[in-house]
Structure 1
Amino acid sequence: MVDISERSLEETIQRLLLAGGPDADGSGPSVARERPSDYGEPWPAAPGGFRLRTSDDYDRLLCLIPRDAIDFVLATQPKIWQRLQEHYGAETRVRFLGRLSKEITSRGTLDVLRNGIKDAGCRFDLSYARPSSTLNPDVQKLHAANVFSVARQLRYSEKTGNSLDLVLFLNGLPIFTAELKNHFTGQDIEHAKRQYKTDRDPKEPLFKFGRCLAHFAVDPELVAVTTRLQGAGTIFLPFNQGRFGGAGNPPVPPTRVAYATAYLWERIWARDSVLNLVRQFIHIVEEEDDNGKKTGETSLLFPRYHQLDSVRRLVAHAREHGTGQRYLIQHSAGSGKSNSIAWLAHQLSVLHDDADRRVFDSIVVITDRKVLDRQLQRTVRQFEQTLGIVENIDKTGKQLKEALEAGKTIIVTTLQKFPVIAATVGDLPGTRFALIVDEAHSSQSGESTKKLKEVLATTTLEEAEREEEEAGEDLEDAIVEAMRKRGRLPNVSTFAFTATPKSKTLELFGVKTPDGRFEPFSLYSMRQAIEEQFILDVLQNYTTLKIYWNLLKKIEDDPHYDRDKASYLLQSFVGLHEHAVGKKVEIMLEHFHQQVAGRIGGRAKAMIVTRSRLHAVRYRLEVDRYLRDRKYPYKALVAFSGEVKDGGVSFTEAGMNGLPEAQTA
C-alpha cells in the first residue's frame, strides 16, 4: 500500500527536488500526464539539483537564507564583491545582506531577482536566466551557479512557533511556499487553503505582498495557487492540468506509483522552469481604472497551468522548427487569453535558435475590433520589460506598412489592416514574422469581414439578414481565405487563438492526427473553464421565452419560397418587432434589477447578445426607454462596428454611448 500521508508527500517532494544535487538521497515518482505531449517537452526533464536547508539556515529578520545569497554572489561576481569589501571591510557581509533585504522590502523579490541591487556603487545580479544557446560558456557558468534550495517545516516567524510545510528559495530569496494535505488523514486542498487564510498572518514579513512570488495549496489530487495572502479574502486559483476535458488532473496510471500532482514538483519547480517563471511569466500588474488611469494598486500575476503549458510548448516548437508554421490555440472564454497572447508575443520577440539567431524579427498581434482592444493593448504593453518595443497601430495602413518594413519588435493592430499585413509580410521574404490572431472568429454579424472587404454599412433588415447568410462569413472565414490565397509563407508563422474553431479552421491551422482528424495545438475547453468557475454555465442559467406568431401564407404551398430562408427572416421580423423587443427587455431588466444587480458587491453587470447590429441598436433604444420610465439607476452601453441605418436615422457606437470608441473597446 502506498503511503500518502502528509509526511510521505513532503518526503517525496524533497527527495525529487534534491535528486542529483549534493544533498540527494533518492529519487521521486514519475509524473502522471493525461497523455504524452505530441510536440516535445518545452523544458528538459531535469528535476532536482536543489540543496537542503533548515530553519537554522533561515534568517527570520532578513527573510532569506544568508549563506545561499553570499555563495551565489561569490561564485558569480567575486570582483564586484572585492570592491564592496574595500568599501565596508569586515562589515561587508552584514551590510550587503541588510541592503538586499531592504531592497526586497522596497521593490519586491521579483524586481530584485530580475534587475539586481546596487550598494556603494557596486551592482550585483541576483539570478541568471537560462541562456538561449550554448555558444557562450561564460554565460552557461553563470546560469549553472544559481542556488536552488528547499526547506521543510520552516519556522518563519519571530513571534510564533508556526512552520510552513515547504519553502523554495532561489539564491537565498524565498520564492514559493506550499502547504500540503492528504486524504489519508481526512484533509485535502481546501484545508490547505483554509490554513493560509486563517493561520498565515499577512503581516508576517515572509507573507507580505511581493516577498514570496506564489503560495501553493497541494494535496495528492489537486493544486491551487495565490500570489497574495489577505486573510479570509485570499483568492486561490486552480493550477491543474485538466481531466478528460474538465477540471482536475488525470488519474495516475495503475502501473505507476505516483501522485496526480507530481507535475508540480517534477516540472513546474524544476530549476530552469523556475527561472523561466521568474524571468518571463510572473508579472507585476499596475491596476488601472475604466479610463486607463493608474490607481496605485498592484497585483502579482502568476500563469494558470494551461497558459504556462501552451506558451511554453508554442515557444519550444517555434524554436525547433522556425518560421512557416501554423498553430491553433483553442482556449475558451475565461481562459485569460489576453495574458496568454501577451506572454507569447514577448517571448517570441526574444526567441533565439541554437545558433543564437533571432527566430522572428517582428511579432504582429491582430485583434478584431476597429478600435484596438484596450485590454489586449494594455496587457501587451504592461508586459514590457524593455520600454519601447511595443507599437500600437490603429491609424493608417501606411503607418502599419512602415512599421512592418522597419522591423518593429511587437506591433499591435486590427483586423481591418489584415490585407496590408498579408501583402507586406509576403513581400519581405528576408524578414521573419509571427502573426498572433486574437479570437479567430467574430460574433459581430460578420462586420469585421465586411470591413475587410470594404462593404458599406447595412441599411435595411433584409440586407442585414442576407449578409448573415453569406456563408456565415466572419473574421475566421476572412483569415482562412486570406491564408489559403497566400499559401504557406516560409517567413511567417501564424498563431490563431479561438474559442470555437470551425472545421475549415481546424484543417488549416490544426494538427493532423493518425486517424485523419485535426486537433488544436493547445486546448482549454469550455467545460474546464466552467468547472474551474472562470465562466458561468449558461445552460444552467437561462430562461426560454416562447414566441407565437401566425403566418398569413403557408410557405409549403408556395414553391417560390425558400423554406429555410423564409423561416429565418420571419424569426428576425418577429425578433425586431417593437412589441417583442419591449417585452423581452422588460423581462430581462426586471430579472437584472431584482436578482442580479446586488451581486459582486453591487457591481454586477448584464450582457444582451443580439443576432445583428440592427437588433443591437433597437434593443439599446428600448433598454434606455425602459430604464428612463422606471427611473432605474443603471446605464447601458452598446457595442457594434461601423454605422447602422434604421428608418433613415444613422447610429454609431460612439454616438449612442456618448463616449469615444477608445473608451469602450
Structure 2
Amino acid sequence: MNRSLNPEAALEQEIINYLSNHGYLYIKPSDIKNSFNKEYAIDQDRLFSFIETTQPNVFNVLNLADQSARSKFLYNLDKAIKKDGIISVLKNGIKIYQVSSNVILFYHLLDEKDPDTKIKFEQNIFSVSNQLTYSDKNKQLELDLCIFINGLPIITIELKSRSSSTNWSYVDAMEQYKNDRSNLDTLFSFKRCIVHFAMDENDIAFSTKIDGDKTFFMPFNKGKDNGAGNPISNDGYMTDYLWKEILDKKNLTSLIKDFCYVLKDEKNNEKLIFPRYHQWRVVTKLVKDAYENKVGNKYLIQHSAGSGKSNSITWLSYKLVGLEKDKKPIFDSVVVITDRNNLDQQISNNLDQFGHLRTIFAHANDSNELAKFLNDGKKIIATTIQKFPYILDKDTSDLANKNFAIIIDEAHSSQAGEYSKNSNIAISGAINPNNDTEEPELDDYIYNFIKAQKMPKNASFFAFTATPKAETLTLFGEKVFDLYSMKQAIQERFILDVLKNYTTYNNYYKIIKTIKENPKLDALRTNIELKAYTHGHEVPIKEKSKIIVDHFITNVSWKIGNKAKAMVVTKNIDTAYKYHTNISKLLKEKRTNYEALIAFSGEWEDSGVKRTEANINGFSDYLTAKKFKEDKYRFLVVADKYQTGYDEPLLNAMYVDKKLSGVRAVQTLSRLNRCFKGKDDTFVLDFYNDVDEIKKAFQPYYSETLLIDELDPNKMYKLLSDLDNKQIYTDKDIELVVNWYKKRNMELKEINPTLDTCVDLFNKLSEDNQDKFKIGIKQFIKEYNFLANIIETPKEWTKKYFFFNQLVKRLPKSKKDNLSIPIPEIISLQNYRLEENDQTHIVLEDKQSEISLNYKYYDYKIQPVTDTLDNLVSYFNDFFGDNDTVYQHIYELQSNLYKQATLRNAILNSDRENIMLELEKVLKKELNNGDPELFRKYIKNEERFKDRLSSWLLDVLIQQYKPS
C-alpha cells in the first residue's frame, strides 16, 4: 500500500492499477471531466472513438465528426437507454434511420477459436475512471469509481475503508447511495447502469436501482465458513474478487450477455436482475465442467431456500443450450424438471421473461407435448417429473442419438424411484414400447431395461436441492458440487430463522373403557391407535384452536403492516376439517374480519357428506393459493398440501399438530422463512413435536451435508437368499412373468395360474415366515428402484424385480392385522389438559453435518405383544396423563435411550430379543442417573412396573427407529 495515501484512496488505487494492467483504459479525473456528458451520462470521447474504429461507414454516414450530429446521436441513444435500458442497448445496439442495420455499441460475441470475433472483441474499450463529477445540479458530488464499456457507464462503485480515520464500512457506502446519490441525476437513473456496488476491504453489497430510502442492497460476498462474509485473501483484500474475477473483461461480458435482464411482473413493473455471487459462481462452475467433461456426468447443488434457485436454473439453462465444442452443441436440449406444478410454473415464467429465450423455450403441459418437444429438439423444455411415467407410452427411441442436460429442482424428491427410472428410460431411448420390429431376446430386453434405469450416458444431470438426503448424495456422488447453505442464507437475511421463536406444548390425556368386555389386543398397534384417537378428538382440537386464534390475534395479526398470515399443519383431512371448522367459528365469535381456508387433496366423507377442498372453501382448489393472498384470508389449514414448494411471504406464524421429522420437518417449517418488507420474525407453536426432534431434523442442512457411509449392494444377495429359501417360487415362474412383461400384449390370465400357485405356497408358511417374506419382497422392490439408478444391477435382480412387483399385489394381509378394534367403539376421552412450554430459540450447531445412508436389510417381523384392554387403558393413562410427574420423565426416556450407541446399533441390526437385552442394560444406567422415584419403581418392579416400562419402551423404540 502506498503510505502517502489514506486507506480508502489506497484501495481505489489498487483497483485502478489492477484493471489498467488487465486490459482496461484508465481515464484520469481531469480527462473524464472534459469528455463526460452529464446530461446523458456518457463518455463521448470513448463512444465515438469506438464507433469510428469499428464501424467507419456508420461514423461517416451519420457525420459523427460534426458536433451537432453527435448531439443528435446522443439524444437518440439516450432515448433508447431510457426505453429499453443499458442491457438491451449493449446487447442489440440501437436503430438509426440513416443506417440499414443497428449501430453496434458493444461486441459481446466472443469465440476463442474464431479470430474474427476475437479481433472485434478486442476493439471494445473497457475503461475505469475515479472521482467522477457526474451532476449538473451539484457539481461538487464525486463518484469513487465508474466502469465504462465503449463510453457507456455500466457499473458504479462507492468505496469505504474500515482502516480509515472515520472507520467507515460498506454499510456507510450503502447509506451514501441512499442519501447522496439521486436518481434524478442521469447516471443513477434506473436501467442507466447495470449495477451499483458498495464495498470496503471485507464486504460487498449491490443494488440495481437507486431510489433513495427505498434502495435495496443485497450481499455480494463469497461466504466464509459456509456463512456470511468473505474468506481471508492472501493478496491483501478479501474483496479483490470483484476486480480480479467479476470485472475481468470476459467475465463481465458474460454477465451482461448471459445473466443480466429486466424482469416485468403482471402489472408491468420492471426489475433489473443481476446475479448474486454464488449464483454466478455455480453457473460458471457447472458450465466449465460440462464443457471440459462433456455429457454423462452428475452434479448435486446444495442451495438453501433464499438462494434464488429459479434464476440460477434460468441462467444455467441458457448457458448450457449455447455450449459448443468443435462448433457442435454439446446438448441438443435442456430439460428443466420440477416436482411441483407451482415451481414448474415459476421457472417457466422466468425462462419466458428471459427475453432471448422465448423462441427456443417451450413448456410441456402434457406427455404428448413433452415427447414431441424432445423428438423435435426444442432447446429448452420445462416440465414436471409427474409427466415422465406417461412418456413411456410415446415413441422416444430416437432420443438415444441425442444429448440432454437434465436440470432437476429439489432433487431429493424428483430423482427417486419410478419417476426417475421412467425419465431415464425415456431419455436413453433404450426401450420403445411401440416398436413393432423384431422382438429382442429375453436377456437383451432385461439388459436394456437395466441400462435404461441407470442415469443414461447421453444426459448430464444438474440437481438443485436445499435438503439432500443420503440417497441423493449417493446417487450424485456423495459430495455436493456447490454449496450455498441455510446458515449463509439466514446470516445474509435472504431467509428468516424459523427456529428463533419456537414454542412446544405437552398434551395430557385420560381415557376410559366404554365396553364391559376385556379383549386381548395388539399392544403396540393399539397404543398407536389410542394416541391417534386422542390426538384427533374434538376436545383437544377445540382447546388448541382457541390457543391458535388468541395467539394469532394478539401476537401475529398486526405484523407485516396488519397483513400477517398463518398456516395450521395437521395430521390428516379429518383433523384439518375440525381445525378449520373451529377456527372459522372462533374468528366469527371474536368479530374479526378474518377467514380461514382449507387445503387437502381428493375427497373426504363427513357424516355421509362428501367434502372437498373446493366445496368447503367455495371455489376451485386451483384458486386456493391465489385466494389466500386476499387480505381477509389469514389462516390456511393444510393436510399434506402446501408443505413444500409453496411461497407466501406474508406467512408469519405456523401452528403444528403433526409429527414432523427429517427433510419433511425442514420443508414444512421453511414455508415461514421468506423475507418481506416489515417481516422481522416468525412464530411456531408446536403441539406435537419436541425441541430436540426439530433440531435433529434441521441440523444436517444448516451447513454442508456430508455422507459418512458407503453403499453396500452385496446385502441384496443376503435378502434374496432368505426369500429364495422360503421356496415360494421357482426360476421357471420368474421367467414366465418376465416374458409376460416383455411381450406387453399378453393377457393377465397368462400369469394368473403361476402367481396363484405362489400365493398358495405362501399361505402354507407360518405367520412369522409370511411376515418375513412379505416384508422382504417389499424391501427388495424399494431398494432395487434406488440401486438401479446407481449401479448396473445383475439380470437376476431385475427379473425378480419384475416378478415381485406382480406377486406382492396378490399376497393376503397378515392375520395379525385383525388384532385391533375400532377405538371410538371401545374408548372415550375423559380428561384433557394442554401445558405450554417456554418459548425458545432452537440454536443449530455451526459445523458440517453427517448423514448416514442406513442402507440395510432386515429379515424379521416384530412379534405382536398382546395385552388386555384394561391394561392398555391403564398403561396409556399412566404415560399420557399428568397425575404424577414420574410419568412425564418416562416419556422423555425414549430419545435419551436412542442416543446410546450400543442400543442404537442393536435396534438397527438385531432381533427383538437382543434389543431387549441391550435395552435393559442401558435403561437401568439411565434411570440411575435420573429421577430417584422412577429408579425405585423400576428396581422394585412395583405392579410389574419394570416389565411394563421395558416392554413399552421396546415397542416405541422399534416402531420409531427401526426401518421397516
TM-score between the two structures when normalised by the length of structure 2: 0.56
1:661 counterpart residue number: 622
State yes or no: 1:173 paired with 2:152. Answer: yes
- Whether 2:540 is the aligned partner of 1:580: answer yes
Deviates more, 1:271-280 or 1:616-625: 616-625
Q: Give CA-to-partner distance per residue, 1:613-665, whole Å, 9 cap, x none.
A: 66555544444343344343334445555555566555555555524527738
Give the deviation of 1:504 after TM superposition: 1.2
Q: Who is 1:409 aligned against?
A: 379
Task: Answer yes or no: is the 8 Å Cα contact 2:412–2:472 preserved in 1.
Answer: no
1:311-348: per-residue Cα shift (whole Å, max 9, x none)?
Answer: 11112211222221111111111111111112212222
Instruction: Decide whether aligned partners of structure 1 residues 498 and 78 sit closer, same or farther in structure 2, where only a CA change above 3 A counts.
Output: same
Which among 65, 85, 88 is matched to residue 108 of structure 1? Answer: 85
1:19 paired residue number: 21
Please tell me whether Structure 1 or Structure 2 has the larger radius of gyration of its CA atoms: 2
Give the distance between the partners of 2:564 and 2:585, measured in 1 at CA: 21
Find the counterpart in structure 2 of residue 490 from structure 1: 457
Q: How does 1:221-232 map to 2 (within 5 A)?
A: 221-232=202-213
Matched, 1:328 2:330: no
Q: Write out aligned runs for 1:327-346 (5 A).
A: 327-346=299-318
Given that 1:425 and 1:492 are in contact with CA atoms closer than 8 Å, whether structure 2 keeps it comes out as no
Q: Contact between 1:362 and 1:404, CA under 8 Å: does it hold in 2?
A: yes
Query: Percent identity, aligned pairs only?
Result: 40
Structure 1: which amino acid aligns with 2:504?
Answer: T
Cα contact 1:197–1:234 (8 A) shared by 2: yes
1:52 Cα shift? 3.0
Pick the aligned partner of 1:522 from 464, 482, 496: 482
Say which of 271, 274, 280 aligns to 1:308: 280
More helix per residue: 2
CA deviations 1:44-86 (Å, max 9, x no partner) are xxxxx34435332311122011122122222322233333339
How far did residue 174 of structure 1 move?
0.7
Structure 2 Cα separation of the partners of residues 437 and 619 of structure 1:
36
Of the three residues 598, 603, 617, the one matched with 2:558 is 598
Tell me how far apart the structure 1 counterparts of residues 2 and 609 of structure 2 sit (CA, whole Å). Answer: 74
Could you tell me which runs of 5 or more consecutive residues in structure 1 were left unpaired when the two chains were aligned.
Answer: 22-48, 288-293, 455-481, 511-517
- In structure 2, the residue matched to 1:472 is none
C-alpha change, 1:362 and 1:631, in structure 2 (3 Å) is: farther
* AA of the residue aligned to 2:371: K
> CA separation of 1:130/1:519 partners in 2, compared to 1, >3 Å: closer, same or farther?
farther
- CA–CA distance in structure 2, aligned partners of residues 364 and 647 of structure 1: 47
Matched ranges for 1:53-72 at <5 A? 53-54=28-29, 55-56=32-33, 57-72=35-50
Matches within 5 A, 1:215-294: 215-252=196-233, 256-287=234-265, 294=266
TM-score between both structures, scaled by the size of structure 1: 0.80
Per the alignment, residue 399 of structure 1 pairs with 369
| Other-structure match for 1:505 | 472
Amino acid at match of 2:149: L
What is the deviation of 1:541?
Answer: 1.7
Give the conservation status (yes or no) of the 8 Å contact 2:388–2:419. Answer: no
2:881 maps to none
Cα 1:571/1:524, change in 2 over 3 Å: farther
Structure 1 residues 529 and 372: alpha-carbon distance in aligned structure 2, compared to 1, 3 A threshold: closer
SS in 1 for 2:290: helix
| CA distance 1:452–1:81, change in 2 (3 Å) | same
Instruction: Say which SS state the counterpart of residue 356 (structure 2) adopts.
Output: coil
Look up the match of 2:27. Answer: 52
Query: Any conservation in 2 of the 1:84–1:92 contact (CA below 8 Å)?
Result: yes
Cα distance change, pair 636–146 in 1 and its aligned pair in 2 (3 A):
farther
Distance in 1 separating the partners of 2:595 and 2:363: 30
CA shift for structure 1 position 422: 7.6
Assess if the C-alpha contact under 8 Å between 2:351 and 2:358 holds in 1.
Answer: no
Q: Which stretch of the first structure deviates more once superposed, 152-161 or 609-618? A: 609-618
Looking at structure 2, the residues matched to 449 and 598 of structure 1 have their Cα atoms a distance apart, in angstroms, of: 45
| Equivalent pair of 2:304/2:489 in contact (CA under 8 Å) | yes
SS in 2 for 1:544: strand
- Cα offset for 1:533? 1.1
Deviations 1:438-480, CA, capped at 9 Å, x for gaps: 212459xx9x9899999xxxxxxxxxxxxxxxxxxxxxxxxxx
Opposite residue 11 of structure 1, the aligned amino acid is: Q
Measure, in 1, the Cα distance between the counterparts of 2:604 and 2:288: 46
Q: CA deviation at 1:195?
A: 0.7
Give distance in 1, aligned partners of 2:421 and 2:329: 35
Change in Cα spacing, 1:661 to 1:148, as seen in structure 2 (3 Å) is same
Contact 2:50 2:125 in 1 (8 A): yes
Q: Which residue of 2 aligns with 1:589?
A: 549
| Aligned residues of 1:617 and 1:651 also touching (Cα < 8 A) | no
| Alpha-carbon distance, 1:183 to partner | 1.0
Amino acid at match of 1:99: N
Q: CA deviation at 1:398?
A: 2.0
Partner of 2:337: 366
Structure 1 window deviating more from structure 2 (606-615 vs 166-175): it is 606-615
What CA distance in whole angstroms lies between the structure 2 residues aligned with 1:117 and 1:323? 39
Equivalent position of 1:124 in the other structure: 103
Choose 148-157 or 401-410, whichever is displaced more.
401-410
Most deviating of 597-606 and 270-279: 597-606
Counterpart code for 1:157:
S
Distance in 2 (CA, whole Å) between partners of 1:201 and 1:306 is 29
Given that 2:368 and 2:391 are in contact with CA atoms closer than 8 Å, whether structure 1 keeps it comes out as no
> Residue type of the partner of 2:16?
Q
Q: 2:10 is matched by which residue type in structure 1?
A: S
SS at match of 2:502: coil
Instruction: Report the CA distance shift for 1:261/1:538 in structure 2 as closer, same or farther (over 3 A).
Output: same
What amino acid maps onto 2:409 in structure 1? D
Q: Cα distance, 1:298 vs. partner?
A: 0.9
Q: Distance in 1 between matches of 2:134 and 2:385?
A: 53
Q: Report the CA distance between 1:597 and its aligned residue.
A: 2.8
Residues 483-502 of structure 1: CA deviation (Å, up to 9, x unaligned): 99711311111111111111
Aligned pair 1:387/2:348, yes or no?
no
Cα-to-partner distance string for 1:401-451 (whole Å, 9 max, x where unaligned): 1221111222111121132468877761111111111212459xx9x9899
Alpha-carbon distance change, 532 to 143 in structure 1, aligned in 2, over 3 angstroms: same
Count of residues in correspondence between the two structures: 583
Distance 1:379 1:490 in 2: 29
Q: 1:591 to 1:508 in 2, by over 3 A?
A: same
Structure 2 counterpart of 1:80, from 58, 61, 72:
58
**Over residues 528-579 of structure 1, what are the superposed CA-to-partner deviations in whole Å (9 max), with x where a residue is unaligned?**
11111111112212111222235779xxxx99544xx777665544443333
> Is residue 360–residue 433 contact of structure 1 (8 Å, CA) maintained in 2?
yes
Contact 1:84 1:120 in 2 (8 A): no
Contact 1:370/1:416 (8 A) holds in 2: no
- Per-residue CA deviations over 1:338-387 (Å, capped at 9, x if unaligned) read 1111221222222222x121121112112222566432222221113143
Question: Within 2, Cα distance between the matches of 1:250 and 1:571?
Answer: 51
Between 1:109-118 and 1:65-74, the stretch displaced more is 65-74
- CA pair 53-656 structure 1, distance change in 2 beyond 3 A: farther
After superposition, give the CA deviation of every residue in 1:87-131 in whole Å (9 maximum; x if it has no partner): x97744333233222321232111111111011232212212242
Aligned mates of 1:655, 1:376 — CA distance in 2: 30
Structure 1: how far apart are the matches of 2:473 and 2:450? 13
Give me the CA root mean square deviation. Answer: 3.2
How many Å apart are 1:147 and its aligned residue? 1.3
Larger RCO, structure (CA 8 Å, separation 6 or more): 1
Please list every run of 5 or more consecutive structure 2 residues that lacks an aligned counterpart in the other structure.
423-448, 514-519, 626-645, 647-964
SS at match of 2:216: coil
Q: Residues 64 and 266 (structure 1 numbering): CA distance in 2 closer, same or farther, change over 3 Å? A: same
Q: What is the match of residue 142 of structure 1?
A: 120
- Find out whether 1:376 has 2:354 as its counterpart: no
- SS of 1:295's partner is coil
